[in-house]
Amino acid sequence: MPQITDPPPQAVLDDLSALAPRMAHVPPKTAGNLLIATWNIRAFGDLTLKWASAEGDSPRRDLHAAVLIAEILSRFDVIAVQEVKANLRALRHVLKKMGPRWGFVMTDVTRGDPGNGERLAFIFDSERVKLSGLACELVVPEDLNDPLADPANAFQRQFVRTPYAVSFLANGKTFVLVTLHVNYGAGPSDRVGELRAIARWLRNWAEQMDDYGQNLICMGDFNIDRRDDPLWQAFTSTGLTPAPGLERIPRTLSSSLDKPDLGSFFDQIAWFQTVKGKPYLTLDFRQAGGIDFQGAVLTGLNRNQLSWRISDHYPLWVEFGV
């Protein structure tokens, strides 16, 4: 049985070469920067232990795809990953390929149909960042007298997949990353209450963290359909501001290679520009972008097939100075 650490076949080497130009705009890791990313990796669970899966294999994600995923993840210092499943085979093989310097921390599996058997995870380069002590899930208080409860009854249950927060330390700077995957529901109206509750919670938490000079950054799959729609308005209602430069970055695979999908705003990286009347982040924002791998790798596959090998979402990233 082949191992992901074996010398890869020529087809994999060719795809790694084709992927490199798509990642050339990602800044290199230096002593003075921090690279944070978010990526919804579709159904990131099981793995077929072949270099090339065949008709009838389940899942169709194979070692070839896993090597490409590992190559993308390794460009960053911390990556928030959504749709990690109960089965961790793909994650463990990807981490094996990335090497011993890489660590991860994650939630347990979310039970129930709406939760889709998913986990939220952070993968991090332990030579660049360290865990700094906090790991928690965000829950909604049941007491409607609590300022974080929703008296309008727009949100009278816990988050379907509770947002996951972990604190990290890099070059003496503490930052707390919150990742989430908003429940898609039957339609956009099903997401508004959850997005509004998340925005209110994060604002309150940012105000508390400001007293300690910490940085709160929110990232993940918010399932926002379009900029300025009701979902976007709920997401930004308390001052959350998406990273500059991401407005024209595609989030998902396109049905046509000639026309990238610039309409959806599912995935976001955001923070508060000001808290308590003064600038909030102590990290120095530099730039942001994404990685569009469609049309570069596994070119014999159609859009749907590619989504099950790698993902239907692209990674988004930001660079900070530290």
DSSP string spanning 234-272? HHTTTSEEEPTT-TT---B--SBTTB---S---EEEEEE
Which pLDDT value is given to residue 154?
A: 41
Residue 248 lies in a domain: yes
Which pLDDT value is given to residue 68?
A: 98
Residue 1 lies in a domain: no
Cα–Cα nearest to 222, from 206, 209, 237: 237
Length of the chain: 322
Show Cβ contacts of residue 174 under 8 Å, excluding neighbours closer than 6 positions: 132, 167, 168, 212, 213, 214, 215
Which pLDDT value is given to residue 112?
A: 52
Cα–Cα nearest to 76, from 111, 107, 53, 101: 101
- CATH number of the domain within which 99 lies: 3.60.10.10
320 with 286: CB under 8 angstroms? yes
Domain range spanning residue 216? 10-321
Residue 32 lies in a domain: yes
Which pLDDT value is given to residue 81?
A: 98
Residue 2 lies in a domain: no
Exposure of 81 in the CB half-sphere (CA atoms within 13 A): 34
Which pLDDT value is given to residue 58?
A: 97
Q: In sequence order, which ranges of the chain are alpha helices (DSSP H)?
A: 10-19, 63-73, 89-98, 189-209, 230-235, 303-309
The total of structural domains in the chain comes to 1
Residue 4 lies in a domain: no
- Prediction pTM value: 0.92
Question: Could you read off the pLDDT tens digit of each residue along the chain, which spans 322 residues?
Answer: 899 999 999 999 999 999 999 999 999 999 999 999 999 999 999 999 999 999 999 999 999 999 999 999 999 999 999 999 999 999 999 999 999 999 999 998 865 555 568 999 999 999 999 999 999 887 765 554 555 555 443 444 445 568 899 999 999 999 999 998 887 677 777 788 778 888 888 998 898 877 677 899 999 998 887 888 888 898 899 999 999 999 899 999 998 888 888 888 899 999 999 998 888 998 999 999 999 999 999 999 999 999 999 999 999 999 999 9
Q: Structure tokens of 277?
A: 């009347």
Q: How far is CA 146 from CA 151, 154, 237, 281, in A?
A: 9, 15, 19, 27
Exposed e or buried b per residue across 152-177, where buried means at least 16 C-beta atoms within 10 angstroms of its C-beta:
eeebeeebbbbbbbbbbebeebbbbb
302 with 73: CB under 8 angstroms? no
Exposure of 192 in the CB half-sphere (CA atoms within 13 A): 11
Residue 190 lies in a domain: yes
Which pLDDT value is given to residue 153?
A: 39
Cα–Cα nearest to 90, from 37, 38, 41: 41
Which pLDDT value is given to residue 161?
A: 65
Packing angle, helices 63-73 and 10-19, rounded to 10: 30
Which pLDDT value is given to residue 194?
A: 79
Q: Report helix, strand or coil for 221.
A: strand
Residue 3 lies in a domain: no
Which pLDDT value is given to residue 111?
A: 59
Residue 278 lies in a domain: yes
